[in-house]
Amino acid sequence: MIGLSGIIVGLAIVHSSMAAISFTIAPYNTSAGVGQTATLACIVAGKTSESVKWKKSDNTPLTVDTTVVGSSRYQVVGAYNLTISGVTTADEGGYVCDAGTLTKTAYLSVVDLPTNVSLYWSSPPIPGLLANLTCKAAHANPAPNFAWYKDDLLYGATPVYYTSGTSGYVDAYSVLPVRLTNDDQSSRFRCQLEYTGLSRAMEADLVVVLSSGGPVQTRNILIIVFGAFLSFLLW
């Protein structure tokens, strides 16, 4: 038989466990474009008297709870994400979130986004014939990863990937082999550029206009750069 004191102790243990500070979302590696605002996640639950602190991996202090002790470019948003405005290459590196006795480091990669993304056929898109659809990311540092979608569904074909250029800045290419049918008329292909923690950095979109063997036809090329929409007609 459990006495009243045992019940009280048990309830105290449960209460203590529930109140323990924890990471709801621990910091994780992410990327941000030069000049953009980076967000490093650190969402904490169960905080009582403990402080939540951000610092660089070299121990340079940045924030204590919501108080900024570093540059004014740093801010604490929510409980307790770190934002860095006007990101430069000097911001690349490790960032540590200390929450009581918990600590977690995330790495920020700074990306100099391509100057342009283009999407084009290597030969006319004729039904029944194999044609290569090429996505080019110009002057990128580092080279992005590519993801392909058809009508907003991840496309299963395996693309060929290669880069050209030196000194960190490269032109990156992803070439997707496509064998079209008459049913593909007006289908939409999307080439999506991705970095760690940045899944839709830029993208190009193309609507298929099937050819009978004449000049290549495409329309509605759409490029998205961090939410800014720019439209280009290539032909």
Number of Cβ atoms within 10 Å of the Cβ of 158: 9
How far apart CA 234 and CA 174 sit, in angstroms, is 18
Give me the sheet containing 74-77, strands edge to edge: 38-40, 81-84, 74-77
Could you give the CA distance from residue 208 to residue 157 in angstroms, rounded to a whole number?
A: 17
Cα gap 147→144, rounded to integer Å: 10
Kindly give the pairing relationship between strand 160-164 and strand 170-179: antiparallel
Is position 222 within any domain? yes
Asked whether residue 169 is domain-assigned, the answer is yes
Which tens digits make up the pLDDT trace of 48-96? 999 999 999 999 999 999 999 989 999 999 999 999 999 999 999 999 9
- pLDDT at residue 222, rounded to an integer: 43
| Within-domain flag for 28 | yes
Q: 40: domain range?
A: 23-111
| 145 and 165 housed in the same domain | yes
Neighbouring C-alpha atoms within 13 Å toward the C-beta of 42: 32
Structure tokens belonging to residue 47:
């905080």
The DSSP secondary structure of 91-143, one letter per residue, reads: G-EEEEEEETTEEEEEEEEEEB--SEEEEEESS---TTSEEEEEEEEEEEBSP
pLDDT digits (tens, 9 = 90+) for 192-215: 999 999 989 999 999 999 987 543
Residue 18 lies in a domain: no
